[in-house]
Amino acid sequence: MTAPIISSLGARALLFDAGGAFSLTVQERIWALARKVDGWDEVRETCPGVTNLTVVTWGPSADLEERLLETWEEVRRLPKKQVAPGRLLEIPVVYDGVDLELVSRLSGLSPAEVIARHAAPTYSAFAIGSHPGFGYLGPLDPVLEVPRRAEPRISMPAGTVSIAGAQTGVSASDGPTGWHVLGRTSLRMFVADRDPPALLAAGDRVRFVPVARP
């Protein structure tokens, strides 16, 4: 494994980057690292990214980098079964998105095949971000990989299921998106006064279940 890199995000935050190629194994250990670091007194919060972890502290912390590296060595050595997988969430999707035709054309697959291939894998939520409750899910079937739209759509409703690059996701609130829209779900991915508000946490797994038009 490559050596991790720690860099500054200001006086009270740093970015721990695992380094090296992306793999689900590395990603699982980032989530394990986050769970450990979250409990430290000087840590205000953490935010797992894709093969990296942002750590925000309450104030300056002299030995934080050292402890992070030590803890990373610990979680790296954990046997795979001790790196607890997240929950499995099934998301019902009506596949009637405005970009289904376009993705079908770009991939050379029939719309039905696009749907089948999007609904086949069990995805991992690599990270939560962009907007409250939005999960970056992957990896996508490489045949479905299409670049982002040149012009983002100004507003798509919460529940929009879309793809871009090697990722897919479900919008958690109304807003603009540069991703390609395949369908929609009635699940509410983020409700501020629900506990927890976000349906997805980093490390959770997701399956899309095609359902008929309501």
Partner 1 sequence: MIEVLATTPHVTVQDHGRLGHLSEGVPRAGAADLAALAAGNIVLGNPEGLAGIELPRAVISLRFHRHTSIALTGASMIAGLGDRCVDSWTTLSVFAGQVLEIEPRPGGTYSYLTVAGGIDVPLVLGSRSTQLRGSFGGHMGRPLKIGDRLPVGAAPLRFPFCCPIQPPPRVGLAPFRVIPAAEYAYLDPESRADFWNGPWRVTAQCNRAGHRLEGPVLTMKGVPELRSHGIVPGIVQLPNGGQPVVQMCDAATMGGYPKIGTIIDPDLGRFAQISPGSIVRFMHCEASTSEGTASTSDTDWLASLAETHTPGPEADAATLDLLAAVSRLSACAGDSASEFAISRKAPDHTFRLRRDVWGI
Q: Based on the shown chain and the rule CB under 8 A, indicate whether residue 127 belongs to the binding site for partner 1.
A: yes
In terms of CB distance, is 28 or 114 closer to partner 1?
A: 28
> Quick one: which of 86, 121, 139, 175 contacts partner 1 (CB under 8 A)?
175
Per CB under 8 A, does 137 bind partner 1? no
How far is the CA of 199 from the CAs of 36, 53, 107, 108, 125, in angstroms?
Answer: 22, 20, 31, 33, 11
Min dist. Cβ of residue 29 to partner 1 (A): 15
Q: Which of 4, 49, 159, 183: binder of partner 1 (CB under 8 A)?
A: 49
The strand pair at 205-210 and 5-8 is best described as: unpaired
| Cβ distance to partner 1 smaller for residue 89 or 128 | 128
Taking CB under 8 A as the criterion, the residue among 45, 66, 73, 101 binding partner 1 is 45
Residue 108: both structure tokens together: 């050379």
Residue 57 touching partner 1 (CB under 8 A):
no
- Asked if 205 contacts 85 with a C-beta cutoff of 8 angstroms, the reply is yes
Q: Are 175 and 157 in contact (CB under 8 A)?
A: no
Exactly one of 180, 202, 204, 208 binds partner 1 (CB under 8 A); that residue is 202
Three-state SS across 44-98? EEEEECCCEEEEEECCCCCCHHHHHHHHHHHHHHCCHHHCCCCCEEEEEEECCCC
Q: Which stretch binds partner 1 (CB under 8 A): 74-82, 92-100, 106-114, 170-178?
A: 170-178
Q: Identify residues 79-108 at the interface with partner 1 (CB under 8 A).
A: none
Residue 117 φ then ψ, to 5°: -75, -30
Q: Residue 125, interface with partner 1 (CB under 8 A)?
A: no
Can residue 52 be called a binding residue for partner 1 (CB under 8 A)? Answer: yes
Q: Does 12 bind partner 1 (CB under 8 A)?
A: yes
Asked whether position 201 contacts partner 1 by CB under 8 A, the answer is yes
What CA–CA distance (Å, rounded) separates 82 from 32? 9
Rule CB under 8 A: say whether 60 interacts with partner 1. Answer: yes
According to DSSP, the β-strands at 13-17 and 5-8 are antiparallel
